[in-house]
């Protein structure tokens, strides 16, 4: 479940303002397709990656896949620090 | 901005920065904590997304518990109240805050579901218990 209070207490208001529901849903679907787990936790702690334009996000994600190989999703599930590289 | 000519800030110049505003960028780059070389590694684009109070508060918590040498990028994203609750939980259960010269992974885990699945820690329950204690 999305923890709105947690998100609002941590993130700059401009991040929240720039969230676009359609963009956010597309990124969520993409991450699920890529077998990334803990989507709920990613939303609560890395909401800033969801303001990245979907197409740009996919491009950046695929670039990371080239760097880390097919293990990328597993690596994200193990350590979300990698998501910082999308910023 | 003149800051972009400085080596320590150059890696922060990513596309994400265009989503921020001048005041926010300026404020973040001039937080007192960056004067301490211990925290240089925290200078990543994340700082533009996270509120200054959250960044400084979490650093203060690490300093209070004398584990500032082990602070990580992820730990800056943990809600301050959750961070203190987790530290208190580890201390109460005599679990070391530092393992193999690294921060105990529990303190690096800002994911509530993972905390529960992997470490059996129900952070919601711990926080409720902590809040009740503090009310007494």
Instruction: Report the distance separating Cα A53 and Cα B10, nearest Å.
Output: 23
Q: What is the CA radius of gyration of chain A?
A: 12
Q: Which residue of A has its CA nearest to B13?
A: A87
- The pTM of the full predicted model, rounded to 2 decimals, is 0.83
Contact A9 B54 (CB under 8 A): yes
Task: Tokens 């193999």: give the residue.
Answer: B100
Touching check for A14 and chain B: CB below 8 Å?
yes
Does B15 contact A at CB distance below 8 Å? yes
Residues of A in contact with B61 (CB under 8 A): none
Residue A84's pLDDT band (boundaries 50, 70, 90)? confident
> Which of the listed ranges A2-6, A43-47, B11-15, B128-132 does the model predict with the highest average pLDDT?
A43-47
pLDDT attached to residue B39: 93
Alpha-helix runs per DSSP H in B65-107: 73-77, 80-92
E strand or H helix at B54: helix B52-64
Task: Indicate the residue of B45, B54, B108 with minimum beta-carbon distance to A87.
Answer: B45
Q: Pairing mode, if any, of strands B98-99 and B102-103?
A: antiparallel
Q: What is the dihedral of CA B109, B113, B117, B120, to 10 degrees?
A: 70
| ipTM for this model | 0.85
pLDDT tens-digit profile of B66-114? 999 999 888 888 889 999 999 999 999 999 999 999 999 888 776 778 8
Angle CA B3–B9–B11, to nearest 5: 135
Q: Residue B98 forms beta bridges with which residues?
A: B103
Reference A64, options A53, A51, A73; nearest CA is A73
């Amino acid at each position: 479940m999305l923890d709105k209070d947690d998100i609002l207490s941590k993130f700059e208001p401009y991040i929240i303002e720039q969230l676009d529901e359609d963009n956010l849903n597309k990124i969520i679907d993409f991450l699920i397709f890529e077998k990334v787990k803990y989507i709920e936790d990613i939303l609560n702690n890395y909401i800033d990656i969801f303001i990245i334009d979907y197409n740009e996000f996919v491009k950046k994600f695929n670039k990371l896949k080239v760097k880390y190989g097919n293990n990328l999703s597993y690596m994200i599930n193990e350590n979300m620090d990698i998501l910082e590289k999308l910023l | 901005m003149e800051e972009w000519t400085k080596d320590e800030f150059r890696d922060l110049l990513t596309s994400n920065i265009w989503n921020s505003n001048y005041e926010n960028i300026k404020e973040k780059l001039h937080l007192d904590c960056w004067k301490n070389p211990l925290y240089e590694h925290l200078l990543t684009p994340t700082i533009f997304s996270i509120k200054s109070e959250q960044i400084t508060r979490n650093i203060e918590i690490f300093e209070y518990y004398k584990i500032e040498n082990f602070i990580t990028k992820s730990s800056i994203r943990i809600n301050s109240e959750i961070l203190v609750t987790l530290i208190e939980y580890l201390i109460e259960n005599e679990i070391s805050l530092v393992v193999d010269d690294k921060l105990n992974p529990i303190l690096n885990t800002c994911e509530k579901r993972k905390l529960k699945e992997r470490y059996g820690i129900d952070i919601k329950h711990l926080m409720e218990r902590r809040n009740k204690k503090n009310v007494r």
